[in-house]
Amino acid sequence: MNISFFGLGYVGCVGAACCAKMGHHVIGNDISENKVNLINQGRPTIIEAEIEELVKEAHDNKMLEATMDYHYAVHNSDISFIVVGTPSSKEGHLNLDYIYKVSQAIGEALKDKEEFHIIAVRSTVLPGTNKKVGEIIAEASGKTRGTDFTVVSNPEFLREGTAVQDYMNPPLTLIGTDSKIAEEKFRELYKDIPGEFISTDIEVAEIMKYVNNTYHALKIVFGNEIGNICKAMGIDSHKVMEIFCKDKQLNISPYYFKPGFAYGGSCLPKDSKALRTLAHDFYIDVPVINAINPSNELQKKNAIDIIESKGKRKVGILGLSFKSGTDDLRCSPIVDVAESLIGKGYEIHVYDKNVRISQLTGTNADFIAAKLPHLHEIITDDLNEVVNCCDVLVVTNKEEEFRDIPQKYPHKVIVDLVRQYQEIDYEGNYEGISWGNINHNPAQKLSLSHDMSTTEF
């Protein structure tokens, strides 16, 4: 396959050399004459393990060349990678001028190219950049996206010092595209690369690098804060975190990484508070750990705001315990939501087959007595009773009996706090707490008639 790389900096040099190693003919393009000359002399533009040998080998085998002529690079390649820098401003915004200038140049080169061309944005950019790049290329070339060219997002996940190994042995290869032609081309391009090939929505691919790196930063800071607490107590922090990382079932796993409602229950609130208190007692500042609870409280507020936005007075809460299959109400976040809504004058009805008021004892009973002293008046184990008398249904856990709510009870407003439904065609209004766009029924777009002029009492 013939490939061009626009930008011969860190990512561009590594990508060009690795693609040549995989047997593709590569043309590098850069506005820097020095970088172009280095590649044409068989020398890399960066210092990086293994890169010097790869560039020399590719050059000697006539699989890698470089030019300042963007027209030549586009016309002699099937895929053009955009790998220019996206520096940050002092405020944290990205400077996309280099991206847009390269897009303009590629568009001008496409004016007189007959073959279908694929442009791949590999630079780190925010969601929406792919769309803008396509618009710039279409305007500059006079051609149509999807017919004459397409733009995909193919983020890189390279670490300095191990970039070549990361390129050739990634945990996964990610493509964001709306073009079957491009997907097939990229499957062919990366066919010899191990790891899962994932083709997804363009915006999903665009945001992944930011999610990954922010989480990596969070892990480092969390580890440091735990280390600081351990040091103050004379505990070996490396032993602590070594054991922590051995748990692949919960600690290092996908289990908790599901956007949704706030956490609750008897353990997480109590134990995270205890660790914060411990740090405070030793005068250890732990801003990340201290921010966990406020963030959790914010998610409760988000749920309340969504429910209030529906403008309906009668709200049915489906599930009161903190998760399915239990009657544990201790620190259940939906209890706080119900308490707040009742205080604002909403008519609340609760369905939970697991919670029997007469059997509540100990901490459970004390918690409910303080939060919802009249719970016995609004809770039932009759699902039909709650659904039929309410306009808004709040799904709080993944009980199996909630899966067919949209089919059995059309034209209701559903607020989903747990992603009970992956994709639906529902005649009523649906909204997820941390996701959207999964209800494809046209009725979703109908405006709601509010029966409450205000939600404050």
Condensed to tens digits (0 to 9), the pLDDT of residues 415-448 reads 999 999 999 999 999 999 999 889 999 989 888 9
Topology of domain 2-200, CATH:
Rossmann fold (3.40.50)
Least confidently predicted of 79-83, 224-228, 443-447: 443-447
pLDDT at 412: 95
Q: Give the HSE-up count for residue 225: Cα atoms under 13 Å, Cβ half-sphere.
A: 18
Segment 289-318 shows an average pLDDT of 96
* pLDDT band per the 50, 70, 90 thresholds, residue 132: very high
Q: Where are the domains of the chain?
A: 2-200, 202-257, 298-445
How are strands ordered across the β-sheet holding 413-416? 379-380, 347-351, 314-318, 392-395, 413-416, 429-432
Res. 168: pLDDT tops 70: yes
More confident position, 445 or 356: 445
Tokens of 49: 């393990």
Domains 2-200 and 298-445 share a fold: yes
Contact 268, 254 (CB under 8 A): no
pLDDT at 366: 78
* pLDDT band per the 50, 70, 90 thresholds, residue 457: very low
Positions of E strands within 30-166: 64-67, 79-82, 117-121, 149-153
Res. 187: pLDDT tops 90: yes
Over the stretch 240-267, which tens digit does the pLDDT of each residue have?
Answer: 999 999 999 999 999 999 999 999 887 8
Contact 68, 30 (CB under 8 A): yes
Task: Kindly report the CATH number that applies to the domain delimited by 298-445.
Answer: 3.40.50.720
Q: How far apart are CA 176 and CA 179, in angstroms?
A: 9
Res. 214: pLDDT tops 90: yes
pLDDT at 454: 56
pLDDT at 331: 81
Catalytic positions, please? 267
% the chain with pLDDT above 90: 81
Phi, then psi, of 67 in degrees rounded to 5? -155, 155
